[in-house]
Amino acid sequence: MLRENNHEHKVNQTRREGRIGLIANKYLKRIRAAPGKKIRLDDFSTDWAQERDLKDAEKEAFKEKALKILDENRAALASAQELLWASNVYSILIILQGMDTAGKDGTIKHVLSGVNPQGCKVHSFKVPTEEELDHTFLWRFWRALPNRGEIGIFNRSYYEDVLVVKVHPERLRNLPPGKIGKKFWNARYEDINSFEQHLFRNGTIILKFFLHISREEQKKRLLDRLKDDEKYWKFSLTDISERQFWNDYQAAYEDAINATSTDLVPWYVIPADHKWVARTLIADIITTKIRSLDLQYPQITDEILAKYREAGRQLEED
Ligand code: AMP
Ligand code: MG
């Protein structure tokens, strides 16, 4: 009985997941920051390059199809996560970075809405506390890593420590004396690469997404927040002051991506001017990744199976 259920589960899963990976695979070359190559963010679309070539009617049909695939991915992600949990070997760490309003929170809400909350932990990282500043910059992230079998999401991450503080080095605190220059930042990239390699070698699969929006789209989204009293809470005056440093941030992102996109842990530069594009791509990449691990439900011996059947028979007669 157990085996039949398992088989049925697999057949249904395959049927549901028929289109998983289609979108991401098709566009992977365009959105993956090739390790060892210098990328320029300007070469990556914030829109969806192909979309511009489509006529309006086709665009709508395309969007509809993408949203359906997002739905299928959500369902597939839920079953993939169950398998991740049951097999208890790997964990998944999803890193979301992007400028203010890039859509980090919305992505978490929409992509992971079907996943069992017990196997999924979200951490949002803000300006470090005094206690956090009394440790090395990786400390607070160590403590937040997902357990085996879990999906962990970092809404902002240790990358802030080579982004916001690279743009504003005066915010670095309690460090041994020394020049804050190229060497200092290279050492941080090196620390991050070693940290990620260590995690990877021990079963943590890391997926890093940069939600790439245009400056114009950010302006639109900030204005939206200011026009809608139900969106005021999302607005912060620092969003406007940080916007003045747009080019510095883009440069810091470019440097960070170039220094830390590796074969084992690459960066994906996700076109994020359209939320549905970003969400569909990210869901597709996560699901495809978990499925590629080729996980198995824990095997059961014939001896134990016979005992389970006997227990079931006794229960029926109860
Ligand atoms: P939000 O994501 O809108 O809640 O904002 C969180 C804020 O915390 C952002 O302005 C980040 O730049 C800031 N932040 C996150 N990590 C760090 C860090 N390590 N050092 C300084 N600021 C940080
Ligand atoms: Mg904010």
Banded pLDDT at 2 (limits 50, 70, 90): very low
CA pair distance 152, 119, nearest whole angstrom: 8
Q: Tokens in use for 277? A: 């594009």
Q: Tokens in use for 74? A: 């959500």
Banded pLDDT at 1 (limits 50, 70, 90): very low
Mapped onto helix, strand or coil, the DSSP state of residue 279 is helix
pLDDT (mean) for 200-225? 97
pLDDT (mean) for 221-225? 96
Across 23-32, 53-62, 255-264, least confident range = 53-62
Distance from CA of residue 58 to its chain's centroid?
Answer: 29
At which residue do the structure tokens 């198995």 appear? Answer: 296
Residue 272 CB less than 6 A away from ligand 1: no
Q: In sequence order, what are the beta bridge partners of 98? A: 211
pLDDT of residue 19: 73
Tell me which amino acid residue 260 is. Answer: T
| Distance from residue 41's CA to the centre of ligand 2 (Å) | 22
pLDDT at 10 over 60: no
Q: Tokens in use for 281? A: 């791509």
Distance from CA of residue 254 to its chain's centroid?
Answer: 18
Atom of ligand 1 nearest to the CA of 158: 19
pLDDT (mean) for 213-234? 95
Across 10-19, 26-35, 84-93, 163-172, least confident range = 10-19
Across 2-6, 55-59, 275-279, 283-287, least confident range = 2-6
Architecture of the domain defined by 2-311: 3-Layer(aba) Sandwich (3.40)
Task: Return mean pLDDT, the chain.
Answer: 91
pLDDT of residue 4: 43
- Which ligand is in closest contact with the Cα of 235? 2
Q: How far is CA 283 from CA 87, 89, 288, 291, 313, in A?
A: 21, 21, 8, 12, 42
List, edge to edge, every strand of the sheet that includes 267-271. Answer: 32-33, 267-271, 204-212, 91-98, 151-155, 120-124
Residue 152 phi, psi (nearest 5) = -110, 140
Atom of ligand 1 nearest to the CA of 163: 12
pLDDT at 16 over 90: no
pLDDT of residue 210: 98
pLDDT of residue 3: 45
pLDDT (mean) for 104-116? 94
CA pair distance 62, 132, nearest whole angstrom: 46
